[in-house]
A and B are shown apart, each in its own frame.
Chain A
Amino acid sequence: MNKSNMRVLTVIIIMFFFVLQVYAAELTPAKGDIFPDITLSKTEKASEKEYLGLSGKGPFRISQIKAELLILEIFSMYCPYCQKEAPIVNELYQIINKREDLRNKIRIIGVGAGNNPFEVDVFRNQYNIQFPLFSDESYSVHKSVGEVRTPHFFVIKKTGDKKNTIIYSKVGSIQDPKQFLDMILEESGMK
């Protein structure tokens, strides 16, 4: 192989890695985007299936969940910030549960990035979490939402003209759960 052919080959190899990189690091879906219809690990718990309006055996897709608004948290059992956030999200769940007008319209789920079912259980038991948590041991969900830092919250509007539109996508704490709820109700036009 002569010198110029070598150069062309090197450039092609580098370009190949470049393209690979673009595919590997998918962008984090932002407000206004359509949320990717990701697949969740299966849930055996009847109460969780009922909460999410699912029937049959999993795995399930996000689009199968029956709700007007879906709050999705990407967390990790090992992440101290997610640990601090757990009681705040529990409070949000309780506030929604007490509101008769919202109880059946808003759903919360958590996806444990890189956590196996055992690790997800540790997190659930430690904070007595009542809403469904899913394991994402292979990071497949985490990858499809752009490898976000944890915790990352998405709020997805599942009804209307543009189904599954994201109305909130941010890393970090939701701060005050009451104000957060007000804000997403306003954004979604449910208020």
Chain B
Amino acid sequence: MFSKKHFYFYILAGILVLLYSSTIAYGASEQFKGKIYNTGILKPVDSKTKLKVGMKAPDFTLPSVSGEKVSLSKFLGKKNVVISFVPAAWTPVCSDQWPGYNIAKSLFEKNAAVLIGITVDNIPTLFAWTKEMGELWFPVLSDFYPHGLVAKKYGVLRSSGTAERALFVIDKKGIIRYIDVHDINSRPGLETLVKELEKLEK
């Protein structure tokens, strides 16, 4: 019925169609058009954190894009802290997650919370990437060298060397109150995070 030649033609056509379908991005922003590297679908979670709710959050000091060094301990007794690890600059989902937080500043402030963004990229890459998002109100820290040290401390360093898409909520006493090591392929809902913040002491 079908010759061998036809058979391979159909296989090829099928593969092309599937490849094409993987390039369609849901609700992709026009801003990043052509600048986002398509990672494809990744293993949802590729690490196992030993940290648990109720434990003390490990302290760290990292350089930020704006130049200053930021330590977790400087917020002790003053602010609740949300740490948002995202896998890498210039990848899908992350390129939308922080711009969303960027217009939700008042929701963080209402709950006496600060936000800290962390990736394993170097500062120049983070500079260029966050510039695409407009002015960010929260510090973005580089966990580049020694590579992924803080991500490792928090148990969210993947075998590929990127971080998980993970949220840690830490209260004023430095105690972890919420952990969400999210499916790397999807964006954690802002609403869930805000509900967790509302539970904290202001």
* Residues of A near any B CB (own CB < 8 A): 4, 7-8, 10-11, 14-15, 17-18, 21, 24-25, 76-84, 113-114, 116, 118-119, 122-123, 125-126, 139, 142, 147, 149-152, 171-172
Contacts and interface: CB of A to CB of B under 8 A. Distances in A.
B45 interface: no
Contacts of B97: 78
Contacts of A113: 26-27
A76 B32 CA distance: 14
Per DSSP, are chain A's interface residues mostly helix, strand or loop, or mixed? helix
A25 B14 CA distance: 16
A14 B103 contact: no
B63 interface: no
B160 interface: no
Interface string B7-46: 1001101100110110011111111010000000000000
Contact of B17 (A17, A152, A172): A17
A11 B10 CA distance: 6
A8 B2 contact: yes
Contacts of A24: 21
23 contacts: A4-B1, A7-B1, A11-B10, A14-B14, A25-B21, A78-B99, A78-B100, A79-B30, A79-B31, A80-B31, A81-B30, A83-B102, A83-B103, A116-B189, A119-B191, A122-B100, A122-B104, A126-B106, A142-B26, A142-B27, A150-B27, A150-B28, A152-B30
A40 B33 CA distance: 27
Contacts of A171: 30
B55 interface: no
Interface string B132-157: 11100000000000000000000000
Contacts of B190: 118-119, 122
Interface residues of B, number: 37
B131 to A, nearest CB: 10
Nearest to B190: A119
A78 to B, nearest CB: 4
Nearest to A85: B30
A16 to B, nearest CB: 10
A76 B29 contact: yes
B109 to A, nearest CB: 13
Contacts of B13: 14, 18
Nearest to A11: B10
A77 B100 contact: yes
B2 A122 contact: no
A77 B194 CA distance: 16
Contact of B29 (A17, A21, A81, A116): A81
Most buried by A among B1, B99, B194: B99
B38 to A, nearest CB: 14
A29 B7 CA distance: 35
Most buried by A among B20, B21, B31: B31
A80 B27 contact: no
A21 B21 contact: yes
Contacts of A118: 189-191, 194
Given A14-B13, A78-B29, 4 more contacts: A78-B99, A83-B134, A150-B29, A150-B30
